[in-house]
């Protein structure tokens, strides 16, 4: 019989996950740690990040928090260098940090455009810029960028978010071409509506109430339910594992059939 733990090859690896203090990022961190991965949570929210680290450690996993503003190159370089020095290598990078500001192009403040692009897209560039060299030295690695269903199609009142997530997807393809020869797999996971603080924030920005009625509306898709962080985490895990050695430059939509 197959030994799935051995087949996955994740036990003992080191992963940096940005935006992991809450939401999808936290779900990925918990799932990875439960599989034996040493997780580095990179975020600016110390309070929430410390709670995730404690939860993981209390469950017997390995996790640490390193404060990092992923829009600042100095922070990203310091993070990558520190993790590589402490763990000897960086096996996995998951770029999950993101910001959604729900506006049309007419109503979007320039400051919100800059925030969405910097946190959601620029951060992927900066983190990859400083992690890829460490992966190359180690002989390879896995990078998963968290996109969105709106990486692949447009959405209403979300012009900056769609621009940023569309950029994340096409940037993923470009990097996969550049770094395939370095044995670095780079893929994009594109979630639909996931029950997270970000979805609640988007609802409230549009003047709604994040209640059961709203969640039922979000669940109007073939699988007839709202997504959970674990739904995304399992797909990211697959792409980062030894079970996906020949998958790169791909997008995996995780949305219950929402854009099918």
Nearest to 93 by CA among 17, 177, 42: 17
Q: Which two tokens stand for residue 258?
A: 């929402």
In angstroms, what CA-CA distances link 186 with 83, 137, 246? Answer: 20, 17, 10
Helices (H) and strands (E) in the chain, counts: 10, 7
Helix (H, G, I), strand (E, B) or coil at 16: strand
What gap in Å lies between CA 116 and CA 63, rounded to an integer? 28
Check the CA dihedral 239-240-241-242 and report its sign.
positive
Alpha helices, DSSP H, located in 139-196: 159-179
The helix-helix angle for 110-117 and 159-179 (nearest 10°) equals 30
Place of tokens 């997780």: 39
Active site residue 161: yes
Helix (H, G, I), strand (E, B) or coil at 130: helix
Annotated catalytic residue: which of 125, 161, 210, 214?
A: 161
- Which residues are marked as active site? 161
């Amino acid at each position: 019989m197959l030994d799935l733990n051995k087949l996955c090859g994740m036990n003992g690896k080191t992963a940096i996950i940005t935006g992991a203090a809450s939401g999808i990022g936290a779900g990925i961190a918990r799932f990875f740690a439960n599989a034996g991965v040493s997780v580095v949570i990179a975020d600016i929210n110390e309070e929430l990040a410390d709670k995730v680290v404690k939860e993981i450690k209390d469950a017997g996993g390995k996790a640490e928090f390193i404060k990092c503003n992923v829009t600042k190159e100095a922070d990203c370089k310091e993070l990558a260098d520190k993790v590589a020095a402490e763990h000897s290598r960086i096996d996995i990078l998951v770029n999950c940090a993101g910001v959604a500001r729900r506006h049309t192009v007419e109503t979007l403040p320039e400051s919100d455009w800059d925030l969405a692009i910097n946190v959601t897209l620029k951060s992927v560039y900066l983190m990859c810029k400083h992690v890829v060299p460490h992966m190359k030295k180690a002989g390879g690695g896995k990078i998963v960028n968290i996109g969105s269903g709106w990486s692949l199609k447009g959405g209403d009142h979300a012009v900056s978010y769609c621009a940023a997530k569309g950029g994340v997807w096409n940037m993923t393809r470009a990097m996969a071409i550049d770094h395939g020869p370095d044995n670095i797999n780079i893929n994009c996971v594109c979630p639909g509506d996931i029950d997270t603080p970000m979805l609640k924030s988007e609802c409230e920005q549009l003047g709604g109430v994040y209640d059961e009625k709203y969640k039922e509306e979000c669940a109007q898709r073939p699988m007839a339910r709202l997504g959970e962080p674990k739904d995304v985490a399992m797909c990211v895990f697959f792409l980062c594992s030894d079970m996906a050695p020949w998958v790169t430059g791909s997008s995996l939509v995780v949305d219950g059939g929402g854009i099918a």
